[in-house]
């Protein structure tokens, strides 16, 4: 991977909908050459996919929270099964080292939904809640 590939990745991270013509102009390549570079990055597994940013508040999700999960013992399957049923709220479930066993990244339509989630969660694990202010 050379500097041109790195610049291509940087530009695609900034705007994944950029045209190959625009990308080529930025990295001083023709559109076909830029497209070939992007395809090679995909083929080599460097680029694994594209995503979009969504304004969650406009979708009705106003409460953003990080939840440190603490599970005693080594049997985590009931917790993991519970989390899989909460895809509408759970953005990411990270297995972590240090303070806790998992770190949940979640969005809720409001505090009532968060409270109900925490009541259910308490059946499977202890937790420490951090609400995102801004």
In this prediction the pTM is 0.63
Q: How far apart are CA 127 and CA 51, in angstroms?
A: 30
Burial class (CB in 10 A: 0-12, 13-18, 19+), 11: middle
User: Domain 56-131 falls in which CATH fold?
Assistant: Alpha-Beta Plaits (3.30.70)
pLDDT exceeds 90 at position 2 = yes
pLDDT digits (tens, 9 = 90+) for 71-98: 998 899 999 999 999 988 999 999 999 9
pLDDT of the residue at 53: 78
Dihedral pair phi/psi, residue 36, rounded to 5° = -65, -40
Overall CATH class of domain 3-43: mainly alpha
Residue 115 and residue 77: Cα distance in Å, rounded? 23
pLDDT at 59 over 90: no
Indicate the Cα dihedral angle 108, 113, 118, 120, nearest 10°.
Answer: -120
Whether residue 69 contacts residue 125, with contact meaning beta carbons closer than 8 Å, is answered with yes
pLDDT tens, residue by residue, 12-38:
998 999 999 999 999 999 999 999 999
Q: Residue ranges per domain, the chain?
A: 3-43, 56-131
């Amino acid at each position: 991977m050379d500097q041109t590939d790195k610049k291509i990745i940087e530009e695609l991270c900034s705007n994944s909908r950029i045209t190959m013509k625009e990308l080529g102009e930025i990295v001083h390549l023709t559109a076909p050459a830029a497209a070939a570079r992007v395809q090679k990055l995909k083929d080599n597994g460097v680029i694994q996919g594209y995503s979009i940013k969504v304004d969650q508040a406009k979708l009705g999700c106003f409460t953003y929270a990080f939840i440190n999960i603490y599970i005693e013992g080594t049997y985590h399957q009931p917790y993991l099964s519970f989390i899989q049923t909460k895809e509408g709220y759970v953005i990411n479930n990270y297995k972590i080292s240090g303070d806790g066993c998992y770190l949940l990244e979640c969005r809720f339509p409001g505090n009532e939904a968060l409270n109900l989630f925490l009541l259910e969660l308490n059946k499977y694990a202890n937790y420490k809640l951090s609400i995102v202010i801004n």
